[in-house]
Structure formats: C-alpha cells, structure tokens
A and B are shown apart, each in its own frame.
Chain A
Amino acid sequence: MKLLHASPSMFLWGGLLLFYVYAASFSLNVAAQSILAWSLVGLLFVIQANYTRLEQHLGATLRLFRLVVIFLAVFVTLRYLAWRLGSTIGYHDPFSLLGAILLLAAELYGIAIYFLGAFVNAYPIKRQAEPLPDDPDLWPTVDILVPTYNEDAGMLETTLLAATQIRYPKHRFKVWLCDDGGTVQRRNRPDIAEQSWARFHELNALCENVGATYTTREKNLHAKAGNINSALEHCHGDLVVILDADHVPTVDFLENTVGFFLKDPKLFLVQTPHYFINPDPLERNLRTFEHMPSENEMFYTVIQHGLDFWNASFFCGSAAVLRRKHIDLVGGVAGETITEDAETAMGLHGLGYNSVYYGKPMVAGLQPETFSGFTVQRMRWAQGMVQIFLLKNPWSQPNMTISQRLAYTSSVFFWFFPFARMVFLIIPGFFLLFGLQIYDANLQEFLAYALPHILAAIFLSNVLYGKTRWPFVSELYETIQSVYSLPAIIEVLRSPRSPSFAVTPKGEQLGEDFVSSLSKPFYILFFLNALFMAAGVLRLIFQPELVSITSITMVWASINVIFILAAIGIMLEKAQKRAAYRINTEHTHAYPMSLEYAGKTWPCTLLNLSHSGMGVRIDHAAIRPKAGENLGFDIFIPALGHVRRLHAKVVGIYTNRYGYEQIGLELNAEDLGEKRTIAGLVYGWSDLSEYNQDARQKRISPLSGLAYLTGTAMYHAGEHIIFLTREYTQQVIHALRVRLLGRIH
C-alpha cells in the first residue's frame, strides 16, 4: 500500500536505480570491460586524491559529488559481482568447491557491507543544538543515571562531580549512581560480602558528598539493563541520561541535547559521541594515538550522521538522552541481548519513534588499556549484535521503514566480519599450498574485474571515511578481533541466548612492557602465511605457467602478513605508567593561566592536563621551581567561564626539544570545590574534545596508508621479536645461573 502512495518522482527514481543495477550487469568482452573499469577507477582516483580540497570548496554540492563517487564505485563493484557470480565458480573437486564457496561467501559478505555502508553514508546530516525556552521551569526534568559494577570510587567521583555540575537548573535534574557492586545479593554472599559492604558504604558517602543519589537493588539480574531498569523505578524525570561510569560529561551536555525533545514529541533518543581520552591497545602499542584518528571516530563522526538521515541512529549505551515515557512503553531498557542499547533503540524505532544524533563530543571516556580488555569488550559487542541479528532481526521488526531496516542491517551484519576476515587470512593457502582451484579466472579477467573493484572499494572508503579512518586500519582492527570474536560468534550461533554481559575492564595501569597472553594465534597465522609464501615461491619455480595466479595470490598473502605483523606488534603491551592520560591543550590557547612564584604571578602556557596533573610550559626564565615544591596558580576554566585558583605540586622539570622549560604538576585539590573545578577544567569544555578530535582527522592516500601500515607493522613486530629474544635470553641466563650456583653450592 505504501508503494501505491509513492510519488511519481519516487517511481522514476526507483526505475532509475533498477536501470543502473541492470546496466552494471551488462556483459562486455574483457577488453571493453578493462577500458570501462579502469576509466571509472581513474576518475575515482582523481576525485579521492582531491577530495579534501573539494570538501573545502564545494559547500552544499559536496553531497552531490559524494553520491557521484558512491555510484561510480558501486557500479564498478556491481560489474565485478555480476562477473564473479556468473563466471568464476566452477566445480573441479570437492575441496576446491569448498574453498570457492568459502571465498565467495566472504566476498559476498564484504560486498554487502560495502553496499550497506554506501547506503548508510549517502547523505549524512549534521545538526545544530535546538534552543531551550527562556523559562527554565519549562525545561524537562532529567535523571542522570550512572550505572556501575566494579569501577573504583576515584573514577566514579570524577564522573559524578562532572555530572552534578552540568549547566542545567538544579531543580530540574538529579544524578543517580546505580551500583550493581553493592546489591543486597552481593552483600550477602560470604565470599564478597566484606568488599561489597565496603563499596556500599564508600559509594553512599561519595554520593552524599558530591550531591548525587546512591541506589542499588536486591539482585544482579539482567546486568546493565537490569541495573538501569531498577533505578528507573526510583526516578521520575521526563528524560533519562545514561552515562557509563568512566564517561565524564561536559557542562553543556543537557543544554545541547534537551532542546531536541521539546521540538519533536516523537523523539525518544538523542545520542552523542563517545570521546575517549586514552588510546586503545592498538593505538598505544603502535604509537598511533597522537596523529591517527581513533577507531571510534569513524562511527561517531561519519556513520552515526549517516544513520541519522535515515532516522536510524541508535543508542550506544552511554552519552545519550532518552525520553522516559518512551522507555516505559517498551518496558524499560531491553535485556534480551547483551547489547541492550541497540536492542532498545530498534524496539522504539519499530514503534515509529524518532532518534537524533548530535555529533559534538560531550563525554570523555576511557578505552580498555589492555588487549585482553579490548577483546572482552569487542567480543561482547560482536555477540550482542549477532544476538540481535538472530533474535531481533531488523527485517522481522514491525513498522520500521526499509531504510531503517537496511541501516540496522548494516550495523548488525557488520559484526560477522570475523568469519570473512579469517577466510581472507587463510584462503591464499588453498591455492599456494594445496593447489585448489577456488577462483576461475585468468590474469586478464582479474585485471579487468577484480582489481578495479578492489581499488574502487578502497577509493570509496577513503572518500567516505578517509578523515576518520586511514586506509587499511579497519582491516587491521578486524584482524586483531577476528581470532577471538569468531569462536564467540559461533557460540552465539549455536546458542543465541547463552552469552552473558561482561564488563569491560578500564582504568588498568600497565607497569612494564609484556607480551599479551592472547598473542599465540597471531604467531600461528604468521607462520601459516609464511608457509603459504614459501609454497608460492616453489610454485613460481616449478610451475612457471602459473606465474600470474601465483603472483596475485602471493601479493594477497603478503598483505595478510603485514596485518599479522602489525597484530604481533600490538601484542607487545607497552607500559602505561601515568595514572591518567593527559589531554593536549597547547594549541587551543583557551586556558590562560598564571603561576604564583616567588611572590609574583607569571603567565605560562598549559600544555596538557588530566584530572590528576598537568604539563605547563614556563615562558619566563625567572621561574625555576623545584621538584616537590607546592604551587598555586590561577587558570581560566572555559567550561565555567571564569578564573579559579588551584593548587599543585611540582613533580618534574624538563626542557623540551625547542629549549623551553616544562614542569609537570600534580593537582592537589584542597576541597570538594577545587575537585569540582578540576573536573570542570579537564572535562567540562566540549570544544576541547572537538578540537583534539579535529586535529587528528586528516585524509591520507591509500598508498600512504599502506606504506604507513607496513612501516608500523615491521617496526613494532620487530620490537616484539626483540622483546621476546631479550626475555628468552634473560630466562636462559637466569636458568644457567641457577644451575651454576646450584652446582657451586
């Protein structure tokens, strides 16, 4: 019936899209296909190489350009797909057929994700905050819920301090600490009763101190969703904000988000980005955090804007505002899967309610520090999304639009990547090692169809996501996750309701370098691909007639080796000695400060800061503090709009490479007010996160990306090998020494 009500332009558009797909499937001889594909790829190359310039100059018509790029790249891939399905599958023997099916399935998955990504990101929209009424009494009442399970009180204190000083009428919002670590059930368990009671008392006191309300429940049921739902029984605000324990909000969080609810009564969600102030294991161990965009930025800076256009941006578990009555409509936060956030959002989208994505980062959070913590988090996401795919499939939900279904499919189906990634990692061996025929094509056809498709996909990805995701970084993230996520996904496929919620460990300190206990599979993959390469060399020698197919497969295996080497580099966990990661502030010039020294106040420059300390550049030779010396300083707090006095102890004095003196200060809050000021200083100003995020977002070419990845992989894999060699040598020396001493004694 909906189709009958479609406008003539809709019909025309639909017809045009069908014709486009039909045209892309037209048969051509190989020479004509080569000319066409390489012409289109050449055009794509020119556009992607100049896309940053186009972004700066084209303005509104950039969207049209973006669509042209999408349709160009998708056309090349559709041609590949038609050829791949029609011409490259042949039966040779059962094992070859198995390999062919595996590779085809992996490729089809990849192409499906590629097309869904192109759809989702066809028309991203960026929103401005909606203004609130002049009369604060007309503003909605808000409950800010901070669910916690095992996070320490220090971390919670920062979050609660920031949450309680959000710029919003005090009588219109309330902060709740929802503690699942101090439930009655846990306090009564003999093995953990003592620590649970201690936690209960400590957090009660903390809440009382900072002005929040402590709440807990009888039993730990349904994990985080159950915790929130239990807290909802106590609060009655119009809106609910969910903040993870480590997600510290800026002061303008509510100002920027609540207005959307007043404008659209059918709005159930305003989601904002998760901004992380510390590197994840990949960023830390490969030393990319300072200059390469973070992994989550692609999702929060590009994809969520794209989803927002299709009214499909979804709840990400934290940093979001939800309308209470809409939550109540679906019986609270959903808990059937372990990704309660996406599940809840899909349920409400299915009821015809709307969502908004507001792209300014307004919470600062922490990433898991170790690879094992990272793996725990990603396995939960993968399992949860696969659960949604199985139990709450977007195509089985009532009342969602087709575009919403496609958008959710894109979000959910993406998490099957471990399957495809593992296939891509091992499939070269099917030919190089065993000589299986899994891809019926000659070199000419490969160059006419497959290579243009690969390049088109790379160029499109660079255009759509290039500023937030450097080339081949996605593949690296997928590689390091696949090894452990694949068994987790298989477990869900076998028993969709079996996974339980695993809390991501955060705030861990790494005292010294060590090799992750999860590194073994990557050694195996490395040796496998090295074996494939060796087999390839033998094939080149003994089967010169297969030089083209052998070479192509060896190039493939070489790229796999680069990813695996990078993964091995990541497995060497680098020490993280600083208690809190410093946020760079040097180039913002937004924190004018003056240091009191020798009875005078001296202007100086804030370089970086965290809630425990800061780096300051001393611009005057007269200031020469000593380590351990206590200092007072005045600093402008952008979030609060005025200057405040803070106290700190000098913990280090350095001369930087430009000859400037720098001092490291440890902040000493003398009272709660000063703690609040520090929270406001470090986390309160949303423009700082935006500034730092923008500073890293730059596009590099695919070739540069490959070179960067190769260099990084080689360097850090080398570090890993040197580390292992050193460790092994030390162990041998130690063993020899023990044996020698034993003999002497």
Chain B
Amino acid sequence: MKSYPNKLKIAVQFLGLLLWALTAFGHAAHAAPRTIISHTEEATLIPLAVLNASPAPLDLRGLSPRSSLSLPVPARMKIESSELELYYTNSISLEARSMLAVSLNDRIVAQLPLKASQPDNAARISLPLQDQPAGYHGLGFFAALHFKGSCEDGSAAELFTQIDMQQSTLRLRAVRKPILSSLAHLDELFDKRLWLNQFPLNIVSTEPALLEASALAAQGVALRLEFIPLNINYQTVDSGGSAASTQKTSQDTSYFPGLAAQSDTQGDIVLIGSRQSLAAIVSPKLLEQIEGAYLGLFPLDSDPTRGVVLISGLDAQQVTEAARVFALHKLALPDRQDIHIKSLDMPQDFSRLQGNPNQSNPPDEHGWVSFSRLDFATTTLQGMYPKPAELNFWAFAEMFDPQQRNLTAELSFAYGAGFDQKSALNILLNGKFIQALHLDNPHGEQVWRTRINIPVAQLKAGQNTLSLAPSLIGIDVGGECKPIFSNNLYVSIADDSRIALPANNGFMRLPDLSLLARTGLPYTQPYDGYGGALVILDDDIETHSAALTLMGKLAQVNKAPLTGLAVTRDLASLKGDHNLLLVGSPANLPEALKNEISTFIPGLRWQNLAVGVQESQIQASLQSWLNTPLQSPLAARRFAPVSANLSLERGLGQSNAAVQFQSKFSGGTVTLFSADDPQRLRNGINQLIGFDTWGALNGNGMLWSTSGGALGFSFPANHSFVGDIPATTWISLNLSDRPWLLIALTLGIILTTSLMTWFMLRRSARRFKPGA
C-alpha cells in the first residue's frame, strides 16, 4: 500500500511511452471490443464494460465529475492481486493541475495527471482487493478538470475526460477456496458474483425417471445465480456400472467414490438419484444417511474447491421433493451439511401478474398499484442530468377499454431549492417522451401524487418502462467567473407513487418470442408453470443438457422456479398441458403438430415473407365508407397483405431456430427450439441464454448462429390474444370490431326497453288513469 504512488508513477510513465511508441499496434490490438470476462492461466480479465453493463465509454464532464462501478468479489475466490488497466482520454484544453483519481470503496488509490499534451493515456493501478470481504465494492473515478487558472465555466465543453470501458480491464489473480459444506452457504457456492460469463454445472442423474428433479435442480442453481447464464452439462451414470469402485475400506473418507469420471469435468456437480441407485456412487456411510427426501452439500473428493449437491430420497417422489426444496432458492436452510425433508406442502396452479409478471400483489380496490409493488424503491437522483429512475410495469394496449386514451399514474416526489425555471422531471415511456413536470418552485417542494397521463397507444405489448429523467438546472447556471453550484440538485421519487393498472390475469398477445424472453410467458402463467410442459424430443445427453439449460434460463426470467411445469420425453404422456416447450428435432413430432409449425423448419415450411398488399374492389361497408366518405359507398378498395412462401429441403445448417405458434393440437402455445443435430442444439442453447441473444428473441421465429448472433426473424401475420381480461373490455373490443353487430344489439336493447316501458306505463295508465 505504501509503495503505490511510486509504483504507479513508474507504471504510468512506462505505459505512456509504450502508447506513444506503439500507436499503430495499440489501435490494432484494441480494435476488437471486449465486453466479456476472459480467463488466462494467470489471471481473470474483466473489462469495465462488464461491470457497467454497457460498452459505452464513461464520460466525466464538468469541473469535478465522479462516477463509480460495483466490483464483485465472490466468496469462493481468494484474490492474490488485482490491477486495473485503465485507458482514458482527456481534453487537450486542460490545465496542468487537472487530474483523475481512482478510489476503492471511497478510498483514493491512485491519482493520475491529466495533461493537454498527452490526451491518450493508460495506467495500471493496483487495487487492494486481497483483504476485502466477499460482496460488492465501489470502484470510483473522480476527476478535477480545469481549463483556466481562474473564473472557470463549469459547463464548458472542454471539460471532459473519457474512460474506455472496453479496453480498461480489471486483472485479477485469484485462487479458488475450498467450499463451505453448509447448506446455509448454498448462495456462496452458486454465486452471481463469480467472474464468469456462464456458470458451468454438471447435473448427474442415476435414473431417466428423475428428469423432473433434474429440471428443478437446474432451476435451483439458476435462480441462485440470478442473471448469470447457467450452462448445464447433463450426464447419466449407470447405477450398477461403477459398483466396483465403491468397494473400499472403512478408512476411506471419500463421499463420492463413483464420481471419479465426472471429476475431470469443469464446474460443480448436482448429483440426483434415489438411495438405491446411488449405491454405486456414494460412500456407504453417506448412503446410510439417506432415509427420506435428502439434500446435502459436499466437497468433491478430488477437488474440495468444487461442490457436490446431493439430491436424493428413498424413491423418485422423495428425490423430486428434495429437488423442489432445492429449487425454492429463497428458503433458508440450516448451517449443516445435509438435511432430511420431513414434508413440503407446495401448492400448484397459483397465479400472479398484477402490474408486473413477477408481482403477486394485486391492485387496491381502486385499481392503483403502488410503485413499491413494482419493485421500485424510493430513489434520490442528484446532479444536472442524473441517470433516470425507471419503473417497469406490465401492460398491453388491448387490456384497456378501447375508449381509454391514457393510463394514469400519480407521482409523489420532492425536489430541492434553488432550481431554475427550466428544470423539469421528464417522463418517458419506453424511451419516448410523453410529459414533463415543472420543477420551478425556487424554495423546493414536496409534491404528493401529481397526475401524469401515459398514452395507452404508446404502450408496448408486455413490459413497459416508465423513465423519470430529471433535467436539473440550478439558478447558478455557471459561466465565466460564475461557478456552478449543483450540490442542491436533488430529486427524490417516492415509492408510494402509484399507477392505475387494470387487473391483469395473464392477458397476452401471442406468438411473441420477445414476450418469452422478457417474462417467460406464456409458460410462467401460472406462476409455477402449471399447465405447461417441457418436452425433450430426442433421447440423447446433448438435447437433455440443452433442455435443462433452457429451464434454468426460464426460471431466471420468472424469478421463481417452475415447479408445476411438467418435464417429459414423451409427448403422448401429457394430460391437460396446453403450453409446450419442445426441445430437439421436430422429426419426432406428431403430424398434426408438425403441420401447425409455421416457420423455420426445413422440409415443412420455411418462411412466409410479407412482400406487399394486393388491392381488390369490394362493396363498401358502412365502416369503410365512413372512413373515406368521399369515396363511392357502392364500392371500396380493400388491401390484403400478400406473402412470399419459401420451403427448403435441407436442414438448418449451422443455425439454430426458435419457433413459436398457437396450436390447436395442444390447445395452447408451442415453442420449439431445434437445430440440425443435438450437439449444435446444445451449443445453440448455450449461446441463446447469453444476454444478447436472449434479448434479441422476437417475432414468431428466430434463427441464430452458433456464435450467438441473431441471423433472422419471422413475424406473424396475425396475433392471438389469450388470457383473461375483464369481460367488459373483451365485449368492448369485440363490439368495436363488429359495428353492425353493435348497432343491431343497441337497437335491440333500445327497442326492448321501449316496449317494456310502454307496456308498464300503459298498464299503469289503465289502472290509475282510466278516464285519460
């Protein structure tokens, strides 16, 4: 620690010279953006872009800009050294006293000069992470930027320094620590803070019948990893094949003598099997402990830094129950190596989806949903252009009455004193500006539930983002010899703000792969996946691995395990499951289901491409005539879309396909993931669950390459709306689409009411006014 400044100075000078000398090489070397974590034999390299979740450079503007990143430190790793390779560019207008400081947990660890004569810089900075506990640590950047000796204008455009987040890299030298064999520390075993692009996991099963337990185990691990993609390597072991290896002496302390083969692979292991089938794999001592549904955590015999989760029981039912406990990742487990599960009372077919797919809290009796229920915490934003606060909510335009133009929200917020009249809280829906709220009280203000109108027409189908982006300008707007005073530029947005959302009982517009990507729907409706099924179409390890990887991803999207989702290899065995996830080759599908697949399946049909419209003359309906009253009422033009239809003989080649459609065969939604062969399918699914590829899912079909890039999309000509919306809204939507029926019904109601009224009044007149 004491020697940092000297070391740092040397390193900066060295790297600076190197940069000057090797500009061409540097440009070539840095041409390829680095946004993933890479591992060498010596170290782990984490681009800062990964920590910032964005490849964009970090801009530091103004007189004293600051910014910070969260640096994860996993419990399983012991850091031996860590260095930050920082690449940055400063303004050539800066004064010599300008500097950039780097801090760790607010403690400055390096100070770098910013010189006008040397705008492109690189520095290697040692970070004292060795003694830091597991968790997230703040990596801060603070710049002091000057372009004049005095009377500086803080808003001057010359005041900038930019950090290249792709080239700037954190270099960590670390070794794995032996795992803690405690179920209470499962989250540290499957830790989202691990410096991994994908988490490798081996699921070893002793029986094909335990497929459901395997799927639950995959979900349990995926949910603990939160957002880190989980790459599953599914294996089966012969319950009798390795029995010889278990013949060992009583002094042998190994837990899993039968897992020697799996010890050579990477990653941790989840071992699944009934007590009987595990006899050849686990030690007799451990086997004796399995007296019912059992869950345990052990170090791998050959490598104590890797863990083995044992999920077992006396029969398949108990194994599945233990797996279900493991999948419920929010259950607190005791600080011990294993547990016996007495019972798990787990309901099925429970729903949620009020405002947010992952929220189970319904709106209040007036239809309001508090922001806090939508995972929005009270947020304070500071500075002139702070990062917007965002509220995510779930809505379709079709959920609302056709007459309703706006969705109403009521915002509670507070802002500081000394704001200029130009200050505003800008409100954007899905990135599009919709409204601004003045922040013009010079004394500051607390505003309680001011109303904002969100245009229903601008809602996206599914998840919507409401951004609250303040633009804060103090009365002291700066200028020459006028310093900007921005410390009072605060805006807080309270989580008791609310939004009026209609009760959403799983209303969806399908097919829509982007909906699946963002929410897991329709498979996550109900919340536990009840009524859906994952069908593995091929009986090979690769396809199984792909299917379980996909299950892990779905659980992460759902933020809860799909304990009600059936997992099977036999499509015919399904009863009452409407929404199907199919993984594998479509060749094994029933003909009726094959005929329903609309796209991207070679040998069946490849794609319908909308190429234009065809005009035809029809007799004008009242509605069409009203739309164009200058046109003859006797004839109207109709434009019907036309498509080019392509069918291919050969297979998918190197690409993978995801196809979704509404099936009469299953009575629900079917999504098929396929490739030309199982290995390609597994690789493809591993690519698919990456952030970029998964986020690109869209339309009713998508092709992607083995490198993960989206190759093409297919969009449906028609959508189906499924799920429940209020009956009145449903009727309104239907009547709006059928004006003749509407008129007929209305006249029927009016005539019936008139007739009945006439009858009643006439009777009354005859009874009480006989002479009239």
Using CB atoms and an 8 Å cutoff, list the residues of chain A in contact with chain B: 9-10, 12-13, 16-17, 19-20, 23, 26-36, 38-40, 63-64, 67-68, 70-72, 75, 83, 86-87, 90-91, 122-123, 125-128, 130, 263, 308-309, 311
Contact = CB atoms under 8 A, between A and B. Distances in A.
Interface string B442-465: 000000000101000000000000
B758 to A, nearest CB: 5
Contact of B729 (A27, A32, A71, A128): A27
A71 B753 contact: yes
Q: Is the interface of A mostly helix, strand, loop or mixed?
A: helix
B573 interface: no
A32 B402 contact: yes
Contacts of A36: 739, 742-743, 746
Which of A10, A87, A130: most chain B CB closer than 10 A? Answer: A87
Contacts of A16: 752-753, 756
A64 B756 CA distance: 10
A26 B735 contact: yes
B627 interface: yes
Contacts of B755: 64
B762 A63 contact: yes
Given A20-B750, A28-B732, A90-B453, 9 more contacts: A13-B756, A29-B402, A36-B743, A39-B622, A63-B758, A71-B750, A125-B772, A127-B772, A308-B772
A67 B405 CA distance: 34
A31 B329 CA distance: 51
19 contacts: A12-B756, A20-B750, A26-B735, A28-B736, A30-B403, A34-B626, A67-B757, A68-B750, A68-B751, A72-B750, A75-B746, A75-B749, A75-B750, A83-B403, A87-B404, A123-B765, A125-B765, A128-B771, A130-B771
B642 interface: no
Interface residues of B, number: 42
Nearest to B753: A20
B626 A9 contact: no
Contacts of B749: 19-20, 23, 75
Interface in B717-744: 728-729, 731-732, 735-737, 739, 742-743
A389 B585 CA distance: 81
A10 B750 CA distance: 18
A286 B345 CA distance: 88
A35 B742 contact: yes
A497 to B, nearest CB: 37
A35 B626 contact: yes
A86 B627 CA distance: 25
A35 B451 contact: no
B725 to A, nearest CB: 12
Interface in B309-326: none
A87 B746 contact: no
B384 to A, nearest CB: 27
Contacts of A12: 756
The 8 closest A-B pairs by CB, nearest first: A27-B401, A125-B772, A29-B402, A27-B403, A32-B736, A35-B739, A67-B754, A123-B761
A87 B408 CA distance: 11
Nearest to B453: A90
A122 B757 contact: yes
Contacts of B2: none
A120 to B, nearest CB: 12
B758 A38 contact: no
Nearest to A82: B403
A443 to B, nearest CB: 14
Contact of B732 (A27, A68, A263, A311): A27
B366 interface: no
B650 interface: no
Contacts of A309: 761, 765, 769, 772
Contacts of A123: 761-762, 765
Contacts of A308: 769, 772
B623 interface: yes
A446 to B, nearest CB: 14
Interface string B368-403: 000000000000000000000000000000000111
A71 B757 contact: yes
A90 B451 CA distance: 9
Nearest to A441: B405
A33 B403 contact: yes
A56 B255 CA distance: 105
B367 to A, nearest CB: 13
A10 to B, nearest CB: 7
Nearest to A70: B754
A122 B757 CA distance: 9
A27 B732 CA distance: 6
A495 B264 CA distance: 98
Contacts of A32: 402, 735-737, 739, 742
Contact of B622 (A10, A35, A67, A311): A35
B626 A38 contact: yes
Contact of A91 (B404, B451, B753): B451
Contacts of B765: 123, 125, 309
B403 A9 contact: no
A597 B761 CA distance: 61
Interface in B631-651: none
A83 B732 CA distance: 14
A311 B402 CA distance: 43
